Structure 1
């Protein structure tokens, strides 16, 4: 006979049938259920016993732990608090008490509990780990990093502490620390797969895109169902210069086959009223409705929507809201914070809201909701803004773009139907910023090229393009800025690309990118001409440079991410700055650098030109988007009348 807690349940139930009020039998049965992970039944037993002998400490403790196992955080915390007040807590109670508070988002109280416990048991690795979870929201990243390091000191095999430490370090612009901690863990256990996801993100930030992709591939090989890591693989594959259009499509199609298609059989029946001219409900789904580059392209669209024709819903999957969130929320009819919902729960909410057209703003970027879209909660679904290319999902009907991003002859392959607006498919809400300064080259007597794109975008091809510009203008310098510039590994990775390109490294300068937005924009005052990255170009950085009076030279590529500059520059009437081959890229940069009068005029007039261009025409852009929505809706309505 198997001697397991589950096997003892029938015997204990028999004993209770003979003596229903036996406290030892009720307690033993509760413990057996708890050991079998049947926490609901365990709670029932302990509650029944407490009904007979109220306040018995042993039963209260067992009930608290069963409620914790059941994830009934509020009830667990209340019982642990009783034990705490009575001075009856023992060692095993402190951490679940704190974690119950943590799950209730009462982190300040949780930290107090853990600090009191650690004063008694300072070498407890699990307590330091729990403190790392709780202290971040109270005291910030440094305190959390300290807690996780203490945990690792006392238990070097607490792998999740490394994992969280890597995530926090990377989030707070210390990719070098993140990579080093990941390597420390891999020395101990190279087969701990979860670390490869966070390690890959750190490597990408250090400018090591190919190594990042290899890390994601390692994790996916061991966890093929890990759809978030597979999204990371897709996103960072866009940065690789030797990734073909066919390869990118195949990678995205595989994501769809593995993670989205199994949900197709459960698509709901849409009962939306198929009237072509009625008021439509538009839903926007995004994790970036906050101080984020995507927000600058959403503001005017939300502000100018015709509320008589469209009712606007926002589904915000935010880690933390901010002042930009408040600005966006003010222009939305129904705002839903959905960070606590699973993706299928979110799909149910959207379906219950009877959304007519659902817009994905994230693609395969972080905290995306593509599984929600795979559930097809709305009859018409489209992707726009946040991702450069196809999502791969057959559940998404359209990709909103423009002819400069996605021309008819593009080799790029899409699972969605490309819907090109007859104008630029983005609208930039220019930030408040000081007026552009005088041309730096006048004071310095040399031209400064620059790029403020993140280092993940600096490929070998980009290094060759920028080196060609430097070689054509022998007195020029190149300024590169990144928030990860403090890392020696990051700088060396970038400089190695320029070595291979034959650049004079003494002409390359670095600037730290960890400043506030106004300081960031003011740093454009140090450069005369911006050079776009390739094959993943800059969208926000290109717009920011132009707003600060700095012309941008870009090169046309064969996919969306390599055509952002083409779309933006043509929208502001600077199509002549778009190169179609490397030779022309160098020629355009040299021509600009050789005419300081023209550069000075551009610097003085670019902001006004941009403000009057389609790129900053909020009402015009919104009318174009609304016309597209109406057309998409009418097409769906026609399928319903057949």
Structure 2
């Protein structure tokens, strides 16, 4: 009988006590004992496939992959038709970073057993490492079909889906995983993270609460919950969760960073810096903490400290793009525009698809001298890198009906007390609601009284700040918007790449002073002052012109000014309240010529709290001294941020406003004219350099538009030499401006609606 069994089981059959004990140890998972017992057996019987396999497996389980390799290879050589042997040899090779050989053995195993779930799962991990993500997903799904209880396959599938931003699919897999192990704190947290990815923060919080019910001391659950609560703007609850997470895991820098973020959201900037510093004390030079400290200092008006922190963060981690972006943005804001451009380009060399850095670069390039042709090429490059033309175009023919009520969607991060907000107010206020519906899509969490005004007057308010472009585009599609207007696309937190998803039949760029570069953007709205018929500047959009583009409600907070300060002081004060990003060295040189041409004159500079910073003051003082202008002729306003009324009141301190170039003023020009102050501008050859000139023509002040630097100086000199004319302008200009097309709010709304109707009629004709 024994001989018969031996013949049936082959050479691998062993009946001695030592073999029985060794196999029993292996079977029970006593890996160390199994390895000790199997070593001599395998040595005595090199052709025994099972002994070789069991020894190799025991050594592998003891994390001795290199030692496991020879017996596993011998086992496979003896029995190449055993899927399990091939799978285990693949595992050893994988651990030894011999991925190609491991993958070959997994595939051989799967040819023998297509439902070998663990081989499918491990094949998926290698394919994922190779960035063959669709094939990896397929392997994980097949593994789950083969063994619905294989936890690693569920986890790998869910994690990869989350990485790919396919959050809805990831949540389904995590929910299946939780049905298998409902007490897994980690899985509840991961499910919450996927809900966060979809912007479903309430559901995310409930997941973290389930995790905390299982483990009240889970720092990760508290940390993640705080982030979700912060997105829900439940700031006290977010702070409490973040504080508890930091207390539980005080050596974890992310916990202190998150606590600082919740404090920043409450404008408690000093407290935020203290929280970040706690993390920095435990982990010096952590770039994320230095970056966030810089952001807190920046928000608090401590510009020099902010720049220093951003520089330290970049030095600690030169590849850390967020810190490099913040440093470049800060450099731009204090007038170091060339440094800012270099920083954005540095990021894009490493990350050509970095959308935020790309938009910031396009913004910064507007402030720098350069040709219209080179600027156009930069925009085309932006479109190529960021996916223009890659998404399918929906079929909109079902909505192609003439004469019906049109639904207009405006997308903006500036639906608040912001220049774009002020320009949009008259349009929203005066749109014909019998013919148009207005949908507003807000891409910013910032809000103020003007935000509330917009929310009350729109047909639908959609917050999209927490949505991806793809998700926001889907919301717009579901809203059945006919004409989508993307406002000031390159600036702030705006979303020009929404257009690449083509969520509306007609897409329009507005309040962006250059082309978007996107083939999906159908129109750019301007006027002939901004884009003359024979302009050299190029646009990917069709330029649609209003009679007058700029519109702003009359400045009702304007204080009454008795007369020009030169009549009181005996000397002329020039001024500019423009962004220092616009005040480049060429502008300083020209303004110095003006000051030198007008004896005893002074120059007042103000922009929020920027000139409070000693570094900024020192830099501009130095630039003017190069051109013979001493500090006593400069008034660099060193007060903190003014309330709007106080800001407008400061115009009473200047006689003549000097405009910047190549990026001219816009809101600052309108405010100066509202205060009765003439603005001298140098008209450029790009849209961004023509805003002030376009406004001046509308109030009958074309004589203040210079075509050369020499003419600019002469216009300023002549104005300064005639105090009586300045006094008359100061009295006349506010009323002249209020009666001009620049303040024709209702007329502008009607003109824009006619333009929308023309766009719609043209689109209908194309459909037919």
Following superposition, the deviation at residue 45 of structure 1 comes to 4.8
User: Would you say the 8 A contact 1:60–1:79 is kept in 2?
Assistant: no
Contact (CA 8 Å) 1:436, 1:603: kept in 2 or not? Answer: no
Is 1:75 the equivalent of 2:75? Answer: no
Counterpart pick for 1:627 among 737, 744, 754: 754
Q: Counterparts in 2 of 1:320-331, with a 5 A limit? A: 320-331=446-457
* 1:525 equivalenced with 2:652 (yes/no): yes
Q: Which residue of 1 aligns with 2:694?
A: 567
1:14-33 mapped onto 2 (5 Å cutoff) = none
The 8 Å contact of residues 239 and 263 in structure 2, kept in 1 or not, is answered as yes
**Residue from 619, 624, 647 that aligns with 1:498:** 624
Q: How does 1:176-325 map to 2 (within 5 A)?
A: 176-241=304-369, 243-264=370-391, 266-271=392-397, 273-325=399-451
Rounded to whole Å, the distance in 2 between the matches of 1:100 and 1:398 is 38
Residue of 459, 472, 480 corresponding to 1:346: 472
CA distance in 2, matches of 1:499, 1:572: 36
Contact residue 207 and residue 493 of structure 1 kept, 8 A: no
Question: How far 1:553 moved relative to its partner?
Answer: 0.9
Cα shift at 1:33: 5.2
Hey, what's the Cα distance between the residues in 2 that align with 1:399 and 1:152? 47
In structure 1, the partner of 2:599 is 474
Could you list the runs of 5+ residues in structure 1 that have no partner in the other structure? 14-25, 51-58
Equivalent in the alignment of 1:335: 461
CA distance in 2, matches of 1:637, 1:188: 56
The 3 A distance-change label for structure 1 pair 544 and 79 is: same
What SS does the aligned partner of 2:611 have?
Answer: coil
**Which stretch of structure 1 is more off in the superposition, 575-584 or 69-78?**
69-78
| SS state at 2:409 partner | strand
Q: Which residue in the other structure is 2:587 paired with?
A: 462
Say which is worse superposed, 284-293 or 98-107, in terms of deviation: 98-107
Are 1:410 and 2:535 counterparts? yes
Shift of 1:606: 1.2
SS in structure 2 of the partner of residue 297 of structure 1:
helix
Q: Distance in 1 between matches of 2:174 and 2:727?
A: 77
2:281 is the alignment partner of 1:160: no
Structure with the larger helix share: 2
Deviates more, 1:495-504 or 1:565-574: 495-504
- Tell me the alpha carbon deviations over residues 51-106 of structure 1, each in whole angstroms, 9 at most, x when there is no partner: xxxxxxxx35455444345446233322244257xxx5266655345445445543
Larger radius of gyration: 2
**Equivalent position of 1:617 in the other structure:** 744
CA distance in 2, matches of 1:392, 1:371: 10
Q: 1:160–1:565: structure 2 CA closer, same or farther, 3 Å change rule?
A: same
d(CA) in 2 for partners of 1:42 and 1:272?
38
> 3-state SS of the aligned residue for 2:604?
strand
Task: Name the structure, 1 or 2, with higher relative contact order (CA <8 Å, separation 6+).
Answer: 1
CA distance in 1, matches of 2:229, 2:436: 42
Aligned to 1:356: 482
Q: What is the aligned partner in structure 2 of residue 55 from structure 1?
A: none
TM-score calculated relative to the size of structure 2 = 0.75
Query: How much does 1:44 deviate?
Result: 4.0
Show the counterpart of 1:536: 663
1:132-163 CA-partner distances (Å, limit 9, x unpaired): 23332345333223222322222135322233
Q: Distance in 2 between matches of 1:92 and 1:454?
A: 42
Corresponding residue number in structure 1 for 2:491: 365
Per the TM alignment, residue 129 of structure 1 is displaced from its structure 2 partner at its CA by: 1.7
The separation in 1 between residues aligned to 2:181 and 2:617, in whole angstroms, is 65
The size of the alignment, in residue pairs, is 614
**Which deviates more from structure 2 when the two are superposed, residues 561-570 or residues 103-112?**
103-112
Q: Distance in 1 between matches of 2:438 and 2:229?
A: 35
Q: Report the Cα distance in structure 2 between the residues aligned to 1:95 and 1:328, rounded to whole angstroms.
A: 34
Which of 587, 594, 598 matches 2:725?
598
Q: Distance in 2 between matches of 1:594 and 1:373?
A: 51
1:313 shift after superposition: 1.5
Instruction: State whether residues 77 and 101 of structure 1, in contact with CA within 8 Å, keep that contact through their aligned partners in structure 2.
Output: no
Q: Give the 3-state SS of the residue equivalent to 1:170 in structure 2.
A: helix
Change beyond 3 A, Cα 1:83–1:213: same
Determine helix, strand or coil for the equivalent of 1:341: coil
Cross-structure match for 2:297: 169
Correspondence for 1:381? 507
Query: Does the Cα contact within 8 Å between 1:286 and 1:316 map onto a contact in 2?
Result: yes
Structure 2 counterpart SS, 1:474: coil
Superposition CA RMSD, Å: 2.9
Match of 2:550 in 1: 426
Indicate if the aligned counterparts of 1:549 and 1:602 stay in contact, CA closer than 8 A: yes
Whether the 8 Å contact between 1:458 and 1:494 is mirrored in structure 2 is no
CA distance in 2, matches of 1:335, 1:120: 40
- Report SS of the residue matched to 1:318: coil
What is the CA distance between 1:493 and its match in structure 2? Answer: 3.0
Is the 2:604–2:637 contact (alpha carbons within 8 Å) kept by the matching residues of 1?
A: yes
User: TM-score scaled to structure 1, two decimals?
Assistant: 0.89
1:582 to 2:709 alignment:
yes
The answer to whether the 8 A contact 2:473-2:498 is kept is yes
CA contact (8 A) 1:272 1:356 kept: no
Q: Distance in 2 between matches of 1:581 and 1:94?
A: 62
Q: Distance in 2 between matches of 1:117 and 1:337?
A: 29
In the TM superposition, what are the counterparts of 1:26-105 in structure 2 within 5 Å?
A: 34=155, 38=159, 44-49=176-181, 59=183, 61-68=185-192, 70-71=194-195, 73-83=204-214, 89=217, 94-99=222-227, 101-102=229-230, 104-105=232-233
- 8 Å contact kept, 2:158–2:173: no
The 1:124–1:446 alpha-carbon spacing in structure 2 relative to 1, beyond 3 Å, is: same
Give the CA deviation at 1:363.
Answer: 2.1
SS in 1 for 2:484: strand
Change (3 A) 1:585 1:166: same
Residue 31 of structure 2: aligned partner: none
Q: Which runs of 5+ in 2 are unaligned?
A: 1-87, 96-105, 107-115, 122-146, 160-169, 196-202
Native 8 Å contact 2:571 2:601 kept in 1: yes
Distance in 2 separating the partners of 1:103 and 1:618: 36
Is the contact between residue 287 and residue 316 of structure 2 (CA under 8 Å) also seen in structure 1?
no
